[in-house]
Structure 1
Amino acid sequence: MIEKEDPIISEEEAAQYDRQIRLWGLDAQKRLRGSRVLLAGLGGLGAEVAKNLILAGVKGLTLLDHEQVSEESCRAQFLVPVSARGQNRAQASLERAQNLNPMVEVHADRDRIETKPDDFFLQFDAVCLTGCSRDLMVRLDQLCSQHGIKVFCGDVHGYYGYMFCNLGPEYHYVEEKPKLVKPSADSNDGPEAKKARVDPNETTMVKKTAAFCTLKEALEVDWTTEKAKAGLKRTPVDFFLLLVLLKFRTDKGRDPDPRRVAEDSRLLKQIRDDVLEASALSSELLGDDFISFCFSEMSPVCAVVGGVLGQEVVKALSQRDAPHRNFFFFDGRKGNGVVDFFGPN
């Protein structure tokens, strides 16, 4: 990893980030201002994440994407102009991304992420992966974890979206809590008055630690164990939908295509059966109704999941406030999100 420089907030930056400094403090903003992030995948979700990180004020953001701008990506991706069809998505997103906040160093990289050597990823404080294969995400998660680099993964499939984060086995952060005020020693108002009370006008910063499992551990839960069976009722069905969609991407090298609805619907159903059977789970756990709602990227879902994902990166880099552990799932049909934690074993 590159040596971290001591970030200094200039007067201009203090004015630019005044609201954020008031919200989470100067130290948190300085940590954020000294951080470099890699964002892989400039689809609709990637554009939302890029926007949120740039506006928050990271030091540098590298946009990595080898894909070309297509008609479909123009619908969900607001950083690329309509006239950019056929151009590289990272390069086409650069100008609008940079204009969001000139104080952030934004770079475009046209290479395939699979061709990057391990050393490339070690120059960043956080790596955010969208549109990547399961094997690649697992490999990079393991690599970055070994070097203390924070890892985030996410995708949007139609009405569904998810986010995963791995901040390491021992992640330290601070959380603002209402301050408990002890009664004075000479209080004579009875036993109730002698109890500590919450003062709504005062807060205190509490240091906390959280542990995260790796992506491999999260995705490879053995559902035949008693512990896993006991937690099955608390596990959102979206988790198993994610396994199906990741296997579809692995098997076909792409996501479900709205131009191939009939063919891909049959494949999704078969993969669903295979995934659940391999986990010794009933196919009834994930009904057929999911199939009609997981095609293409939908802008509103990208906005919601990108907002959560971007905010989790900001929280992790600033070390301020409690993070999600480890998954966040969103179902646009219900308009809600579910947070769940998958620990190792």
Structure 2
Amino acid sequence: MVAGQANELTEDEAELYDRQIRLWGLESQKRLRNSRILIIGVKGFGAEIAKNIILSGVKSVVLLDDGVLTEEDTCSQFLAPVELVGSSRAEASLMRAQALNPMVNITADTSRIQEKNENFFKNFDVVIATECTLSELKRINQICRGNNIKFFCGDVYGMFGYIFADLQVHQYVEEVTKLPSGKGDGKKKLEPVKITVKDTANFVSLSKALGVDWSKPENAKKLTKMDYSYFLMRVLLEFRTKYNRKPDPKNRMADIDTLSSLSKTVLTSLQVPQDKIPTTVFSNVFAEISPVCAIVGGVVSQEIVKAVSQREAPHNNFFFFNPDNFCGFVETHSSSD
């Protein structure tokens, strides 16, 4: 729950956020102004999210990353100056991040995510996890569910990107266009009107979203029409969990072979046909490509703003950016257990 929602915006904040207030309203901006955000992982994708969230006018942002800034990072990580290569990635990002919006409290945390217990996460309203193993993502998600914290995770692998959201039971309002009822007086054409409606979206945990039984007839039917991105994500998460890293451009050919092998293992375990993932796609999942970070980072940032402001229907529950056709789309997955 966002703390202190009764707090009013200062005159300086009202002036700075004037355009946003006109877009999504004063109450939504107040909710944003009182929200505390944790961003785990500040490589290119995390930096893109940080930029957008800081500019939106939240209360505070913590950049948590125990890694060291590398030359490869600077190809997509625009918050950290190249001259700070070799220093803490989180701390190197602070100066430029703060310059984006002096009214947001931004801090760096160089601890390992594995060291953070439940009490740490209670300090936040929204958690976005990147650069994590699957086991860590599930652990953080469960902590968030137990403490009514909005959870997002995602990553960018070359030309591919994904986002997962768990907002639990999320209430929101949205404007819909409707035609007035009745026939009118016959002299004037009835014009569509916009009305505000309330709705609720129910989300599942990451474990449930990944627990679909694809051998069930109703799920097996979906496979023929379904994009391969969900399964590519499963392979990449398996790679990350097994090797505690992303595919490395310096080890390109060996990692492509490893990904191909993992693909067979993952698809077999899910009881999904081996040809579901085209083998050619593995050559496109290396490094973090800046335009993809911008697209996927922009989408998750928008979803965070929507979740905090409680305006507009959220994406429930996966967003994928396909590396073949360069299109983004939403899919909903959940086990029936």
Same fold at TM > 0.5: yes
Q: Deviations along 1:222-248, whole A, 9 cap, x unmatched?
A: 111122213323432000000000001
Q: Match for residue 109 of structure 2?
A: 109
Aligned residue type for 1:229: A
Task: Report SS of the residue matched to 2:144.
Answer: helix
Change (3 A) 1:13 1:284: same
Q: 2:243 aligns with which of 248, 252, 255?
A: 252
In structure 1, C-alpha distance between the alignment counterparts of 2:4 and 2:12, rounded to whole Å? 22
Q: Deviations along 1:4-53, whole A, 9 cap, x unmatched?
A: 45231111111111111111111111111110000000000000000000
Q: Match for residue 154 of structure 2?
A: 154
User: Shift of residue 122 of structure 1?
Assistant: 1.0
Aligned residue type for 1:146: G
Asked if residue 182 in structure 1 is aligned to residue 181 in structure 2, the reply is yes
User: Shift of residue 283 of structure 1?
Assistant: 1.0
Q: Match for residue 260 of structure 2?
A: 269
User: Shift of residue 188 of structure 1?
Assistant: 5.8
Asked if residue 81 in structure 1 is aligned to residue 81 in structure 2, the reply is yes
- 5+ residue gaps in structure 1? none
Q: Match for residue 300 of structure 1?
A: 291
User: Shift of residue 77 of structure 1?
Assistant: 0.2
In structure 2, C-alpha distance between the alignment counterparts of 1:242 and 1:84, rounded to whole Å? 32
Alignment of 1:22-41 (within 5 A): 22-41=22-41
User: Shift of residue 219 of structure 1?
Assistant: 1.2
Q: Match for residue 220 of structure 2?
A: 229
Change (3 A) 1:145 1:234: farther
Q: Is the 8 A contact 2:35 2:58 kept in 1?
A: yes
Q: Output the aligned Cα RMSD.
A: 1.7
Change (3 A) 1:5 1:208: closer
In structure 2, C-alpha distance between the alignment counterparts of 1:177 and 1:15, rounded to whole Å? 29
Alignment of 1:320-331 (within 5 A): 320-331=311-322
Alignment of 1:167-246 (within 5 A): 167-168=167-168, 170-183=169-182, 187=185, 197-199=190-192, 202-246=193-237
In structure 1, C-alpha distance between the alignment counterparts of 2:24 and 2:253, rounded to whole Å? 49
Task: Report SS of the residue matched to 1:127.
Answer: strand
Q: Is the 8 A contact 1:7 1:31 kept in 2?
A: no
Q: Deviations along 1:165-207, whole A, 9 cap, x unmatched?
A: 0000x2100001225433477x367xxx8xxx552xx422110
Task: Report SS of the residue matched to 2:313.
Answer: coil
Task: Report SS of the residue matched to 1:175.
Answer: strand
Q: Match for residue 340 of structure 1?
A: 331
Q: Is the 8 A contact 1:222 1:279 kept in 2?
A: yes
In structure 1, C-alpha distance between the alignment counterparts of 2:163 and 2:2, rounded to whole Å? 27
Q: Deviations along 1:235-268, whole A, 9 cap, x unmatched?
A: 3200000000000111111111010112111100
Identical aligned residues as a percent: 45
Q: Is the 8 A contact 1:2 1:123 kept in 2?
A: no
Asked if residue 61 in structure 1 is aligned to residue 58 in structure 2, the reply is no
Change (3 A) 1:257 1:233: same
- 5+ residue gaps in structure 2? none
In structure 1, C-alpha distance between the alignment counterparts of 2:335 and 2:149, rounded to whole Å? 19
Task: Report SS of the residue matched to 2:93.
Answer: helix
In structure 2, C-alpha distance between the alignment counterparts of 1:2 and 1:161, rounded to whole Å? 28
Q: Match for residue 143 of structure 1?
A: 143
Task: Report SS of the residue matched to 2:51.
Answer: helix
Q: Is the 8 A contact 1:68 1:85 kept in 2?
A: yes
In structure 1, C-alpha distance between the alignment counterparts of 2:39 and 2:181, rounded to whole Å? 47
Q: Match for residue 18 of structure 1?
A: 18
Q: TM-score, normalised by structure 1?
A: 0.93
